[in-house]
Amino acid sequence: MKSHSWLTPLVVLLAIIGIGFALTSHTTVIVNGQPLDGVEKALAGFAGPLLAVLFVVVGVVLGTLAFIGASLIFLGIFAFFFVSLAFMVAPSLLPWVLGILALVWVMRKKDKARSRH
């Protein structure tokens, strides 16, 4: 299991910032018509920065996954283009490449049959 040693200091830092802002600010937090003070006000002040960091992390992860997906699509398009270009330039390569692919396919079939038993 990986160690998440960075997570605890981050949560503590956010708690200190949020609670410090909430306890020292002159703003009034009102929930259901009742003003909050003391611990409730501090917890409400802590929730904002915590959710902001959580949303930023989730956004970065989703953005990374989107870029990875797009790069794989572009990689496939470029690979198809350059392989097609190589076959146009040197059509004598086609039987060799098809032979290698057939050999890989047969070896893969044998490995699958062995793994079933």
Write the pLDDT tens digit of every residue in 38-80. 777 777 767 777 788 889 989 999 999 999 999 999 999 998 9
Asked if residue 53 lies in contact with residue 14, where contact means CB atoms within 8 angstroms, the answer is: yes
Q: Two tokens at 42?
A: 């501090």
3-state helix, strand, coil in the chain (%, to 5): 80, 5, 15
Rounded-to-10 torsion of CA 71, 77, 81, 82: 30
The whole-model pTM stands at 0.47
Q: Dihedral sign, CA of 83, 88, 89, 93?
A: positive
Q: Return the higher-pLDDT residue of 112 and 77.
A: 77
C-alpha–C-alpha distance, residues 19 and 50, integer Å: 11
Write the pLDDT tens digit of every residue in 14-48. 777 766 766 666 777 777 888 887 777 777 767 77
CB hemisphere CA count around 24 (13 angstroms): 6
